[in-house]
Amino acid sequence: MHVQQQVQLKALNTLNLNAIASHYIEIHHPNDVVDALAFAEQQSLNVLVLSGGSNVLLPQQIDALVLHLNIQGVDVIAEDERSVTVQVGAGQVWHDFVLYSTQQNWFGLQNLALIPGLVGASPVQNIGAYGVEAGEFIDSVQVYDRELKQFSSILAQDCHFSYRHSIFKDHPNRYIIVAVTFKLLKHPDLKLNYGDLKQAVGDLLTAENLQNQVIHIRQSKLPDPKEFPNVGSFFKNPIVTQSDFDKIAQQFPNIPHYPQPNSNVKVAAGWLIDQTGWKGKQLGSVGMFHKQALVLVNYADATLNDVRNTYQAVQSDVKQKFSIRLEPEPVLYNEQGLIQAHGE
């Protein structure tokens, strides 16, 4: 185990925020986690687990031990006529795994192509796109439980997956994910009932074409983090009650919306932001992307404070116009390496 000190994390977070970690360890094997946690305890350091850095907001100085997960591997552990069960290392690049699954004729994840980040982060906020969520295909999640001080496997039903949520968000300091086990289909069941996807796929109803169209749509709307540093969708699509939605729809009849269980309605956050004039607008070095209002971009050498100023201004304008509070998706960390609520 190699501990590095005063490590620059700019290249390890997709928003390219300057962030110096006082202590840093790269994790290649699950057992490295145990050694790293023992070191943190000896040194009285908090632990910040960094995956692909695609959904985090980091301060300029982090006085904590940063664990950078780089556990690889894709292993078939069971299969039958209908499905294949595959265990994937937490450090595997998500998009690469989706492409690999399609090559292997394993079906289910094609709608989730080109989502940035690593496999280990996929259960945390139950990543989703185009009508599919990762939790639908997760069989179990392999973790190190810091409370019980042991490795364990958490079944999907015990992960309490919901929209951008799971028990890993409820207990961010308890579990360190080392692998995710997926149960994928051997026969395609294409999900085409979302937005412009059905039209894009057309008559060529194959999983590969579906995946290609998802990639094409995402590339046409979303900036490449290498060119425009970003964390993907910055705000969650808000879910409102039917009565609240009806009030808004009276004034804005064209508002894009999706019916949800329990008589709730999901509203398109990007549309709300666009309507307030933020699409393509900047505040200093941070702004909302000109092709997709939901994506916040670091156009220059922005700090976390710059990012906060911009997203709070967007929140304020949306709240004023629609009486809806937008909730940021990325996880916000403080200088002690602990997760902080966005309102603080």
Catalytic machinery residues = 164, 233, 329
Dihedral of the alpha carbons of 147, 149, 155, 160, in degrees to the nearest 10: 20
Q: 93: which DSSP letter?
A: B
Cα separation of 169 and 176, whole Å? 12
Spatial neighbors of 61 by CB under 8 A, at least 6 apart, are 19, 20, 22, 335
Q: What is the CA radius of gyration of the chain?
A: 20
Tokens representing 104 are: 């292997």
Cα separation of 64 and 58, whole Å? 12
Angle at CA of residue 258, ends 253 and 263, nearest 5°: 95
Q: How far is CA 171 from the centre of its chain?
A: 16
DSSP 65-78: EEEEE----EEEEE
Which backbone phi and psi does 275 adopt, to 5 degrees?
A: -65, -20
Which of 276, 268, 284, 342 is CA-nearest to residue 314? Answer: 276
Handedness of CA 5, 11, 12, 14 (dihedral sign): positive
Which backbone phi and psi does 283 adopt, to 5 degrees?
A: -125, 100
Cα separation of 236 and 233, whole Å? 7
* 8 A C-beta contact, residue 301 and residue 285: yes
Which position has the token pair 């940063």? 66
Which position has the token pair 């015990």? 158
